[in-house]
Structure 1
Amino acid sequence: MTNDTRKPVLDDHVAVRRKLIPPFLHKLGGKFSQYSWTRQLVPEALWIGLLIDNCGYKSARDHAQALGKAAFSARNKFDCPPFVKFSTFAELSDSQKQATISSLKQASLAAIRHSMAPLAAVIPDHPLAFLGKVDASPEQNARFPELLREFYDRNSRAAVHSTAIGYGLGLDQEKIHVAAHLIEDLIAKFKVIEDYPETEESRRAAGAFRAAAPTLFMGVNVDEAQFETDAPWVESFWEHIAGFGPCLISDTLQDETTDSADALKLFIFDYRNAVRADLRARLAAWPLDLNEIEVFEVVTALLCRQATLTMEIASSPGTWTPHLAPIFLRAIADVFINLAWILKDPRPRARMYVEDGQGAIKLQIAHQKRAIEAATDANEADQLRSMIELWGGWLSAQRIEALVEVNLGSWSGLNTRKMADEAGFLDFYNYVYQPFSSAVHSNWAHVSMFNTVHCQNPAHRWHRAAAIAPAPIDPSWLYLASKYLSKTLAHFDDVYGLDLPHAAFDLVASQLAETVEETES
């Protein structure tokens, strides 16, 4: 017997109730809000990216410093925030804006105006619009969507260079203070960052600048160490950008086609297409709001999850038995209760749902890294590395992994019964979720009924023996799955005031009615 004395994974995290809190977050006493580089920081850092894209890194740095100094001097307040994030410029009064313009050299003023031109074409009243407007060239307008796409990746050259310039602005305005023994190292980082990502030194320097991004571009209340909520500019940015063009995504809701003449196969294809039609109707009726992006993502993903489970049941008649169908139905019930609870207060609850999933993947990655340490098989180790790379990329595209909390309990902080009760669906929990849990957990109620038979020898105390109960295929299981899908869609419709058809449920109901009539006749 081996004695594993290794430290637990994420041992540097602090356990608080049922959560593992990263050390940096714990030091802030829970006053740190999770943030997204793409959704919250990009609108605040984009002005620097536009400068770099138009002028090059060195010239952009000089023009940004000139603008920052001019605005800081015009504000003339010791406690004013650094002029790093874009929305801070919108806080200047009219007289301060005029003073800022007067302090700028003509070369910097012209360069900044020209750099902001493609943004001004989309959002005329952006925070630097007071500097004056010039028309963007066709090349600039064509380049703007590409720059925005590049900027979404916080590891991109544009994002890293913008963060480095932002850090320099904070130093220049004396809002970032560096200990004396760290100054030389910081100077070295600034010297090599222009080469990013070509050299190892520049890649190491980038990490330091990226770590400062939330302080630079979200703002921080020094007295409370509390990150500010999104500025009005961030909401305005996404409202305008949403109309920049249609969504560019792969269409996964296209109808299927078949040349089969088999009645059952035709029914399944018709049913799957009806589910897709129900989904398409709701997505078309619920416009995308980029300021409620997590709500949109979570709600539509759960609707699609529900549809997927139901379609998979329909595609596999072999699952229409009491051995397997309750497992699917319990999963469907789970989705419904989660969605119903989220829709009671969508914005914070959708975020909780997302952050719980991110924490789960962080913990999974930590366990996979531990497994590599113990792996003796090279192929197994390679598979683990591939999984770490896959899930690590998924996580880092959304959050900085070092700032992600791990929730070891329920994602909502409530048990499922309480969630159902708060959402107004306690009966659904009692009559659907709970009974089907027997099959999921293989408890005695389910196992005794479907995996045992009584011995018929009267001398054997009526004991049970192992068995696999025969279970004929029964389409009523598909009817239940369709009913719960319809219930999910109907609740979504009620919350958002929609009146849309339920083609999939109608199809199953009519098909079963025809089958019953044929049987009776």
Structure 2
Amino acid sequence: MSKPRKRKPQRRPQSHSRLADHKRQGKMLTPPLLAVVGDKLRSASWDRDQFPDFLWSCWHLDSGEPRDLVKLVKYLDRIGEIIGPDREGFPEHWLLTGRLTVFEAIPEGIRARLLDELLQQNLYEAIVPEEFAQALGMYPSAPGRWLIRPRLEAGMRIDPESAQRGLERVTAAAMGGQSPVATRAKAAVFRQYVHTRRLSMPPALVDEWRDIIVRYPMETTPEETSKVETFIRATFGAMEGAMEEKGDGDSSGSTWSQTFWRSNWSLFPCRRREARREMPLLSEGDKAAIESAYHEMADDIKVLRERFEQLADATNPDLFNPDRYEVLTGVVARVLRYLNVYIGYPALWTMEHGAPLLRSVVEARIIIRYLSAADTQSDIFRRFKAYGMGRLKLLKLHFEEYLAAEDDPHEDMIAYVDYLESLVNQDILEEFQDINLGGNFAGKDMRKMAAEVGLEREYRLIFAPASSNVHGEWSVIDEYALERCRNPLHRGHRIIRRNTDAPVGAMVVDTIAEFASLLVDEYEQATSQQRSLAAKSPEST
């Protein structure tokens, strides 16, 4: 019975490719989580910018149970009843939404009356839990801190450990703008806008949503809950954007968010991933596999090296003008020398440490093909040499300048400069050498060179990612050198990755060896004509 043929995944038409559209329009790809404010874009960050202001609301919602939202709304209604309809002394657009900055905006006289009423009605303990009071007490300048005044006056002492436990629990539960806790905190705001008639909707929309919103969250089905919460999150984002556009946003919320997060680093320690000490980096089976792979790869590379040497020895160097031979042969020889040493250190068989060599192999292949495709009358091989020697001359000049400024330069430094001088002047006196400060010998970047010789795919998939490693770009630093702090109160900031171990395997070195073999193939093709000439020379007959 024949094996079923695998279906190839269908490719999207070019017109529907975001990357293709990006290239055609020459625009940056727009991140999806952005809120439009007027004609400007701003990052919509619940975690960083909004959550600290909703700390009180999230504290009452942190269990994730739908009934918590009903309880929170009842608390807001009771507070609103005690405050009453008189808004003298309040900000113009004040609305009780559960934000700490909203509590902070309540005038002092009304604060005292509100606290007294809550105490008399035995609601204070529930509305301002002791654990919440412990947490808020850690921040002397927190908005709404007056809420914990009765507890402080009753002798409550701030316990950092208790505050940390509660803050970590609530912060972890509320992180992510689409989490149940965050969504229900936004739902409470939405409810207050609708309840006070500050948010109006078209009649058709009201008819569509009235029943489901009335039943949310206790009596809605999972499908209805998902639908209404998506609507609430979108409406909340629109309301926030509209407030900022009109200038109604409260900047104190932003100030408090900065204070909250920046204070947490000094208040609470970082937490690292627990080391799994019971698991060795390599099991005995892994060690055996690595050792077997080493011997196999070492043999393959030895054969590859011998093949290259035979090709180089059989190639006519053209002693009148050996630039072509020397450049092509040198480019390949350098990579194979690098590979020959690399293979002997299996601890480096990771993408983190193997990327520089992988990049060098692909780069060498692009250069070999680019050079060999040049017109025979071109002086590109001479320019390749001249570019490198010019850079070496520049290095020598820098060291000479350094030595001239030293009163007593070290003898090793003097010897090194003498060595550089011998290298620089070995073919052409340095007075006749130019220094080219351009990107490379060809006067064009590697991507364009790769495209010209049909190696653009290798450039995109291998060279460019490996270059990120060589140049220490952020993506590589993030992947290998740093890790996330595990303390929820630190918002997942990055800290040094202390463990330098990494799982090793033969895949990376296999890939490098495969590309090195292709490099030798390129060399064989690029020098085939010189070997034909060598075979026809008088010495060979």
Provide TM-score, normalisation by structure 1. Answer: 0.46
| TM-score, length of structure 2 as denominator length | 0.44
